[in-house]
Amino acid sequence: MRIDIITIFPEVILPVLQAGILKRAQARDLLTVNVHNLRDFTTDRHQTVDDYPYGGGAGMILKPEPLFAAIKKLEPESTARIIYLTPQGTPFNQSLAEAFSLESHLILICGRYKGIDERVRMKLVTDEISIGDYVLSGGEIPALALVDAIGRVLPRALGNYESAQEDSFSQGLLDCPHYTRPAEFEGMQVPDILLSGHHDNITRWQHEQSLKRTAERRPELLKNMELSAEDVAYLKNNK
Ligand code: ADE
């Protein structure tokens, strides 16, 4: 998979690509990430990327010409997804991360200031994505959130011991509690069942803990799920 990121702050993006799972996915050629400085696609002496909004108001707008030039240079095929990060976009979630991970080419546009000229959206952008209902000063952190979430669900990106199958949201539920050694710490015991060696019982316990956590913290997630009769009974008896 290839991801191109267009930004006026490559220095914000680059270090994050050099660590952990993202670094490993690139080293294994599962993922290629190219970071492009929008200023390299300007034609004036001052490398101007933004301008005042027509109609007035606070904030600057990213000009259309450098963005059009940058995307033209990337020669996207018609199947490429051109994603603009904006608080006005579709809320990002694990299903979208999984869907994007099946694409072969993504182009991420990081906005700054008040946003981008509407004609870039009209002509080039295929998807608008938000990472939450708050406003960041630019699209760099949102772009990194996408690259990280997508990179770790690429086939073979995670080692066996890091399976994404058990992540929060991968089955529509929040993850269960986890413990490691020591078995007793500051008077707190690891639940006996986890020390029992009964694999089936442990799996059932973990699933019930996920159900319980989801019901307590994110009940709206359960509404969209098909729960088994056993799950429904568990939730009813553990209110
Ligand atoms: N740019 C600024 N804030 C953002 C957000 N919440 N999501 C995506 N892009 C953004």
- Find the residues whose C-beta lies inside 6 A of ligand 1: 85-87, 111, 130-132, 134-136, 139, 142
Spatial separation of the C-alpha atoms in residues 146 and 84, rounded to whole Å: 11
Burial zone of 56 (CB within 10 Å; 0-12 exposed, 13-18 middle, 19+ buried):
exposed
Residue 138 C-alpha to ligand 1 middle, in angstroms?
A: 7
Residue 121 C-alpha to ligand 1 middle, in angstroms?
A: 15
Residue 185 C-alpha to ligand 1 middle, in angstroms?
A: 41
Question: What pLDDT, on the 0 to 100 scale, is given for residue 162?
Answer: 65
Question: What pLDDT, on the 0 to 100 scale, is given for residue 160?
Answer: 59
Spatial separation of the C-alpha atoms in residues 7 and 66, rounded to whole Å: 11
Domains and CATH numbers, the chain: 2-161 (3.40.1280.10), 171-237 (1.10.1270.20)
Question: What pLDDT, on the 0 to 100 scale, is given for residue 239?
Answer: 84
Spatial separation of the C-alpha atoms in residues 223 and 230, rounded to whole Å: 16
Query: 54-79 pLDDT, tens per residue?
Result: 999 999 999 999 999 999 999 999 99
Q: Which residues of the chain register pLDDT less than 70?
A: 160-162
Question: What pLDDT, on the 0 to 100 scale, is given for residue 122?
Answer: 98
Mutate to test the pocket of ligand 1, among 5, 62, 86 (most ligand atoms within 8 A of CB): 86
Spatial separation of the C-alpha atoms in residues 94 and 225, rounded to whole Å: 15
Question: What pLDDT, on the 0 to 100 scale, is given for residue 169?
Answer: 79
Question: HSE of 141 in the Cβ direction (CA atoms, 13 Å)?
Answer: 8
Instruction: Say which DSSP state 53 is in.
Output: P
